[in-house]
Structure 1
Amino acid sequence: MNNFTKRTLGALAGVSVLAMSFSAAQAATWRYAFEEALTDVQGVYAQKFKEEVEANSDHEIQLFPFGTLGESADIMEQAQAGILQFVNQSPGFTGALIPEAQVFFVPYLLPTDQAHLARFYKESKAINEDFEELYAEQGLELLSMYPEGEVAMTTKDPVKTCEDLNEVKFRVMTNPLLVESYKAFGATPTPLPWGEVYGGLQTNIIQGQENPTFFLYSTKIYEVTDHITYAGHNNFTTALMANQDFYNSLSEEEQQVIEDAADAAYDHIVEYQKSLADEELAKIKEAKPEMTVTVLSEEERACFKEAAADVEAKFIEMTGESGKAILEQMKEDLAATAE
């Protein structure tokens, strides 16, 4: 073999190694944390997102359910710092970071009809344009917002009117507007991280909390409360976000894979939830037959709806013209997506 041939083969071998290295560099493991268990709504969404990304790219998604990387505040900080590429978090926790996101806690703004909600989250200008800009200001790329189900109150004593919440220490997320909501409802709002809620109810430090039905079952909150009340006042909203610097560093093709995965996961989770609340409520009743379940009548909801007007005014006071514009746009979007 002459020197020219040796040099040629050596160069080709170098190019081959370089190509292999480049290919390997392109395949990355992306970290994705969320606020619930793998079998809860956020976990089911995350698994579908992971499946879609991995089926359509060389990348791998590593999932971190609740507790593995800390509380909600911890995973948001990690996402903003770029330690996490993706984070799924309720506006209830991002409300301090993005005040306008508290709009999702204005009572009786969102409908209880799941089909209407599914259309609204997918088509809303407020969500898909206005909030996208607000999240971007915090270094976050908003990929999707989706509903997790009607919120129910669980308490030690029955609730039929606002008077029944008088002096009840009611756990709320660390969200200023949610605090105002339960003040208006007559309770004593008590912000607590989720990890402290079960023990707080068990030791009577708090006497109530709110969450979607599936979460009441999966977290066994029914074990330390005796009454479930549906007042129709809210629907739990959550959002998938990416670290913006990470997202902007991707190719257009990779960004499209992520967008498509978020869309597929959205459709999947909407379908998944159609009978979820009823199924999980049945499991609660089976596990604890003495649990009372009450759906408030329109008359019984009157005081809560009256309080909602005060909370809406408080939201505008907290967020100014920006919040007012978001609220008005959401109302327009809700009307446009109603049937």
Structure 2
Amino acid sequence: MARVLPKSFAAAVAAGIALSASVANAETWRYAFEEALDEVQGVYAQKFKEEVEANSDHTVQLFPYGTLGESADTMEQAQTGILQFVDQSPGFTGSLIPEAQVFFVPYLLPQDTEKLGEFFRTSKAINEMFPELYAEQGLELLTMFPEGEVCMTTQEPVTGPPDLDQVKFRVMTNPLLVESYKAFGATPTPLPWGEVYGALQTGIIQGQENPMFFIESTKMYEVTEVITCAGHNNFTTAVMANKDFYDGLSEEDQTVIQNAIDVAFDHIIDYQKGLHEESIEKIKEAKPSMQVNTLSEEERQPFVEAGASVEETFLEMTGDGGKKILDQLKADLEAVQ
């Protein structure tokens, strides 16, 4: 004769089975980025992790810069599936996805944080055109976001392109960024980030560029004397997933990821308000002799004129595909201006 279990007991067993299935399906997802935990990419990654773990049984393991090698290493790990997520600037993916170099066309992007946020949130080029290009490289483009105005740090003041003549200037391994600094009159020198501080300290190079928060947090002011903001660019980064991994997820897990991406995006745009100015204050406090110069519109004009040739170089490098991307980006920017 079959024994009838009490309803409460049966419910407990069912709940236990459901919990076991849930635990069995829980995974640890690995996410690498190019900065420290307390820098912009790290702040974004932590918010993404918080959202995923609050809304699923999965765990996100974060790997800040240097823990898994240089940028080229983490990209390879993302493409092969060792990493599920990677945050990397188009500065390092430019050779992989040439069209992504469009973000290094000088004076293309505005400096206003709110306008930038709206542009990245609504851009057809970013949200519809770029994902196809990333997919060809085995990557699911989840989002792109700005990290702040890029400024130059040098040993001598820079008021125009002639002041960069013969200056060995560190750039990311990005063909278009190399062309930009050639146009500005410098001698571009591609170097992995881990070698930059020492190279500035020993005089192998005399300059580099980065957002102000990064100049402050990495103490670039210790080995340079002048910061110059010429308004020529805003640092852009991209969060990607391994495409096979992403495509193999349930619809529920994909929704968890997309929601976490959106929440983290809003968080990082808000986080950056006033960050540029706060970083300048910290730099001046740490090194009162540091010169921080923001070029006027008139002073920027020679850089604007010199940078015009870089757009032509971009089009030569990327052909019709690059032209479509650039045209759409300009239309997207006009819509938010």
The bucket for the TM-score relative to the shorter chain is over 0.9
Matches within 5 A, 1:180-259: 180-259=179-258
The equivalent residue for 1:117 is 116
Q: Which amino acid aligns with 1:336?
A: A
Superposed CA offset, 1:91-140 (max 9, x none) = 00010100000000000000111111010000000000000111111111
Superposed CA offset, 1:160-203 (max 9, x none) = 01000000000000000000000000000000000000000000
User: SS where residue 126 of structure 2 aligns?
Assistant: helix
The equivalent residue for 1:28 is 27
Q: Which amino acid aligns with 1:205?
A: I
CA-CA distance at 1:15 after TM superposition: 9.8
Paired with 2:14 and 2:115, the residues of 1 have a C-alpha distance of 56
What percentage of aligned pairs have identical amino acids?
A: 72
The equivalent residue for 1:282 is 281
The equivalent residue for 1:161 is 160
Instruction: Flag structure 1 segments of 5+ consecutive residues without an equivalent.
Output: 6-13
The equivalent residue for 1:97 is 96
User: SS where residue 109 of structure 2 aligns?
Assistant: coil
Superposed CA offset, 1:239-273 (max 9, x none) = 11000000011111100000000000000000000
User: SS where residue 159 of structure 1 aligns?
Assistant: coil
Matches within 5 A, 1:35-46: 35-46=34-45
Paired with 1:308 and 1:156, the residues of 2 have a C-alpha distance of 22
CA-CA distance at 1:25 after TM superposition: 2.6
CA-CA distance at 1:23 after TM superposition: 2.7
Superposed CA offset, 1:254-306 (max 9, x none) = 00000000000000000000011111110000000000011111221121111
CA-CA distance at 1:24 after TM superposition: 2.6
Confirm or deny: 8 A CA contact 2:173 2:191 kept in the other structure.
Answer: yes
Answering whether residue 293 of structure 2 is matched by residue 294 of structure 1, we say yes
Q: Which amino acid aligns with 1:190?
A: T
Instruction: Flag structure 2 segments of 5+ consecutive residues without an equivalent.
Output: 4-12
Is the deviation greater in 303-312 or in 29-38?
Answer: 303-312
Answering whether residue 129 of structure 2 is matched by residue 130 of structure 1, we say yes
Q: Which amino acid aligns with 1:130?
A: M
The equivalent residue for 1:270 is 269
User: SS where residue 209 of structure 2 aligns?
Assistant: strand
User: SS where residue 70 of structure 1 aligns?
Assistant: coil
Superposed CA offset, 1:15-71 (max 9, x none) = 999866543331000000000000000000000000000000000000000000001
For normalisation by structure 2, the TM-score amounts to 0.95
User: SS where residue 237 of structure 1 aligns?
Assistant: strand
User: SS where residue 66 of structure 2 aligns?
Assistant: coil
Change (3 A) 1:278 1:15: closer
Confirm or deny: 8 A CA contact 2:23 2:57 kept in the other structure.
Answer: no
Answering whether residue 70 of structure 2 is matched by residue 71 of structure 1, we say yes
Paired with 1:200 and 1:85, the residues of 2 have a C-alpha distance of 33
Deviation beyond 4 Å, 4+ runs, structure 1:
14-21
Confirm or deny: 8 A CA contact 2:22 2:57 kept in the other structure.
Answer: no
For normalisation by structure 1, the TM-score amounts to 0.94
Answering whether residue 316 of structure 2 is matched by residue 317 of structure 1, we say yes
CA-CA distance at 1:308 after TM superposition: 1.5
The equivalent residue for 1:172 is 171
Q: Which amino acid aligns with 1:160?
A: T
The equivalent residue for 1:337 is 336
Matches within 5 A, 1:3-18: none
Structure 1 vs Structure 2 CA RMSD = 1.7
